[in-house]
Chain A
């Protein structure tokens, strides 16, 4: 087999792994969009915020240390403890639930019935606020996140592929773990939505607010629940990315890639989010590998968006959406 092709196969698999992460963030978008019609631009910042909080809790950072020091003239920064990952994750989940409650209570309760585009712009405002809040609470420097996930080259795959192709594939253990976690997460979400009472209520709300209200589903509860679950999904995505490349602002930009993923897959379809994520992941890695060197590289910055844009011009409903019949 020619070398180029072997490299391409390796790139393909790495793309799949990246795609899983995109799909994971996209999942958070789909959840909120299905249940409330809100297109949550802040999902990426939520992932960043969750990861920052996790690091902060584990490292025992004092929240708002800079602010406190600036106002009171003190010099606090750490409580001086180091907590195990599990404690950190549980407390972060709690923080995300509180956040979900606040978001619902303070913002979207007052915007019920507004046009989707207004809601969208409100989530951009939310993203800005949370970005400022995250930096204010935990500081803006790049942080290292380690919750004990395995990292580095997977030797077994390296060896196995070496025996076949004479070339060992580099596949990161972290990516494999991420894939497993993502599949588990999606599976449990589907089970939750299909077989639990809350899940059924959630689907009812997604279908028709009024009808759901009239059979006694609490919209408020469902929305808070959905934002909490989306917060949890954001945390998982934040952990994966944070472990990979450190907790920093660019994380929220990577998470923005979930937007074109959704445009490909459709905003309401969980399978669509996953397939869209994989297409984008593989597509951008292969494009960068094959075309990138010819035109200056770093094409990953825009490939996903341009691909989604071109697709939408020809298929406005996305890959899986149904054709829209307009009425007057």
Chain B
């Protein structure tokens, strides 16, 4: 009833092209930001941060990244796990080589390194398309994991072959290592997530986003109206990989603290992020969040209900999770290829007219 655009006029093109043209949406967006930044940090404990909030925030960045490449530019990648590993190992090398430099710098640089690697593996996209490209990105996945597993320089010749995140502080507050406070790591990741989302939104609603979507919807026509496929695709690979790299960096340094590459950044990670954007919504920033939330919450929920509640063995719950996820992917592709984001949009359409739908 209060969700209306009537009486809410845009008088300039600038106003008309903002992210939330409807006033109510805009207020809700500010409300979410206030809750996330000013209220949640006070309510957090270790369990909530580690089981839900950190993975949700960090996967959101990865999902935004993959969504730029797949949802907006139409290039399916199965190499997300490998690119996250690049981000993780780049931060590790930077953290250990330059302990005095701020973590923020390291994480951004790690994103930059990943962007470079992403462009490298994105080059074939100029010649090959569709699932040919998807399979080609598997090369990145398997090669990168192998590289970090087998070349000792990457894990500083440690005996275990693992990488461990040493303690680093920001404004004197530890954000990596063993002595972190839940609210500090939460806020640290939240800042990255917020900036990522805003930047991604700005890029996708402007000239660059239109180039990507033109390539996605019909690459030949895009080229004929003047889009250079080389720069469009490679910029998508670069920016997407940057986000994925940042997410990998946070995943390792802030969230896990210790990583064995094959286990953490294997092909299943690639699929997990891909599933997030399919379920959440291809070509939607909100969908990236929704998908990440969904797939982070699902196992937690299953574990609480089945294992804690009904006393099932954990492996059975894990198998069931596989089945549910696979099933949901198929259902979404059949029923709503644009995912939760589209369901949300439809709900809003309805709400605009409610309670007088005619």
Contact B142 A301 (CB under 8 A): yes
Contact B142 A305 (CB under 8 A): yes
Neighbouring B residues of A316 by C-beta, 8 Å: 127-128, 132
Residues 274-312 (chain A) with a chain B CB within 8 angstroms: 295-299, 301-302, 305-306, 308-309, 312
Contact of B326 among A67, A129, A262, A298 (CB under 8 A): A129
Contact of A128 among B131, B221, B329 (CB under 8 A): B329
Contact B333 A111 (CB under 8 A): yes
Most buried by A among B127, B136, B310: B136
Contact B138 A124 (CB under 8 A): no
Contact B330 A122 (CB under 8 A): yes
Contact of B316 among A70, A124, A259, A299 (CB under 8 A): A70
Provide the bound-state CA to CA distance between A136 and B333, in Å. Answer: 24
Neighbouring A residues of B322 by C-beta, 8 Å: 128-129, 131-132, 135
Asked if B336 CB lies within 8 Å of chain A CBs, one says no
A262: nearest residue on chain B (CB-CB)? B135
Asked if B334 CB lies within 8 Å of chain A CBs, one says yes
Interface residues on B, range: 35 or more
Given A125-B330, A125-B333, A302-B139, verify A116-B271 contact (CB < 8 Å).
no
Asked if A75 CB lies within 8 Å of chain B CBs, one says no
Residues 151-169 (chain A) with a chain B CB within 8 angstroms: none
Q: How far is the CB of B313 from chain A (nearest CB, A)?
A: 7
Q: How far is the CB of A286 from chain B (nearest CB, A)?
A: 18
Asked if B8 CB lies within 8 Å of chain A CBs, one says no
Q: Mark B293-317, 1 if CB is under 8 A from A, else 0.
A: 0000000000000000011110110
Given A118-B333, A302-B142, A305-B138, verify A136-B326 contact (CB < 8 Å).
no
B76: nearest residue on chain A (CB-CB)? A117
Q: How far is the CB of A314 from chain B (nearest CB, A)?
A: 8
Contact A120 B134 (CB under 8 A): yes
Asked if B327 CB lies within 8 Å of chain A CBs, one says yes
Residues 67-123 (chain A) with a chain B CB within 8 angstroms: 67, 70, 107, 110-111, 114, 116-118, 120-122
Contact A136 B316 (CB under 8 A): yes
Contact B319 A135 (CB under 8 A): yes
Neighbouring B residues of A67 by C-beta, 8 Å: 316
Neighbouring B residues of A313 by C-beta, 8 Å: 123-124, 127-128
Neighbouring A residues of B132 by C-beta, 8 Å: 263, 312, 316
Q: How far is the CB of A44 from chain B (nearest CB, A)?
A: 12
Neighbouring B residues of A296 by C-beta, 8 Å: 150-151
Contact B316 A66 (CB under 8 A): yes
Contact A302 B326 (CB under 8 A): no
Provide the bound-state CA to CA distance between A328 and B92, in Å. Answer: 49
Asked if A126 CB lies within 8 Å of chain B CBs, one says yes
Asked if A127 CB lies within 8 Å of chain B CBs, one says yes
Asked if B278 CB lies within 8 Å of chain A CBs, one says yes
Q: How far is the CB of A65 from chain B (nearest CB, A)?
A: 11
Contact of A121 among B135, B145, B278 (CB under 8 A): B278
Neighbouring B residues of A297 by C-beta, 8 Å: 150
Q: How far is the CB of A134 from chain B (nearest CB, A)?
A: 9
Residues 48-77 (chain A) with a chain B CB within 8 angstroms: 66-67, 70
Contact B330 A326 (CB under 8 A): no
Neighbouring A residues of B320 by C-beta, 8 Å: 132, 136
Most buried by A among B145, B151, B319, B327: B319
Provide the bound-state CA to CA distance between A173 and B145, in Å. Answer: 34
Provide the bound-state CA to CA distance between A120 and B74, in Å. Answer: 14
Contact A121 B274 (CB under 8 A): yes
Asked if A130 CB lies within 8 Å of chain B CBs, one says yes
Asked if A133 CB lies within 8 Å of chain B CBs, one says yes
Provide the bound-state CA to CA distance between A48 and B34, in Å. Answer: 50
Contact B327 A298 (CB under 8 A): no
Provide the bound-state CA to CA distance between A328 and B220, in Å. Answer: 7
Neighbouring B residues of A241 by C-beta, 8 Å: none
Asked if A260 CB lies within 8 Å of chain B CBs, one says yes
Neighbouring B residues of A121 by C-beta, 8 Å: 76, 274, 278, 329, 333
Contact A127 B316 (CB under 8 A): no
Contact A130 B333 (CB under 8 A): no
Contact of B313 among A66, A110, A111, A120 (CB under 8 A): A66
Provide the bound-state CA to CA distance between A157 and B326, in Å. Answer: 46
Q: How far is the CB of B347 from chain A (nearest CB, A)?
A: 23
Contact A125 B319 (CB under 8 A): no
Provide the bound-state CA to CA distance between A262 and B138, in Å. Answer: 14
Q: How far is the CB of B340 from chain A (nearest CB, A)?
A: 16
Asked if B146 CB lies within 8 Å of chain A CBs, one says yes
Asked if B38 CB lies within 8 Å of chain A CBs, one says no
Q: How far is the CB of B129 from chain A (nearest CB, A)?
A: 8
Provide the bound-state CA to CA distance between A253 and B322, in Å. Answer: 16
Neighbouring A residues of B134 by C-beta, 8 Å: 117, 120
Asked if B99 CB lies within 8 Å of chain A CBs, one says no
Contact B135 A260 (CB under 8 A): yes
Asked if A174 CB lies within 8 Å of chain B CBs, one says no
Given A120-B131, A326-B220, verify A129-B323 contact (CB < 8 Å).
yes
Q: How far is the CB of B141 from chain A (nearest CB, A)?
A: 8
Provide the bound-state CA to CA distance between A25 and B142, in Å. Answer: 20
Asked if A184 CB lies within 8 Å of chain B CBs, one says no
Asked if A140 CB lies within 8 Å of chain B CBs, one says yes
Provide the bound-state CA to CA distance between A328 and B224, in Å. Answer: 10
Asked if B344 CB lies within 8 Å of chain A CBs, one says no
Q: Can you list 9 residue pairs at the A/B interface with Cβ under 8 Å?
A: A117-B76, A129-B327, A132-B326, A259-B138, A260-B138, A263-B135, A305-B136, A306-B143, A312-B128
Known: A66-B315, A133-B323, A309-B136. 19 other contacts (CB 8 A): A70-B310, A70-B313, A110-B334, A120-B130, A120-B134, A121-B329, A128-B325, A129-B323, A129-B330, A132-B319, A136-B319, A253-B267, A298-B146, A299-B146, A302-B139, A308-B135, A313-B128, A326-B220, A328-B224
- Residues of chain A touching chain B, judged by Cβ–Cβ distance below 8 Å, are 39, 66-67, 70, 107, 110-111, 114, 116-118, 120-122, 124-133, 135-136, 140, 253, 256, 259-260, 262-263, 295-299, 301-302, 305-306, 308-309, 312-313, 316, 326, 328
Q: Which 7 A-B pairs have the closest CB atoms?
A: A132-B322, A129-B326, A125-B329, A128-B326, A296-B150, A132-B323, A305-B139
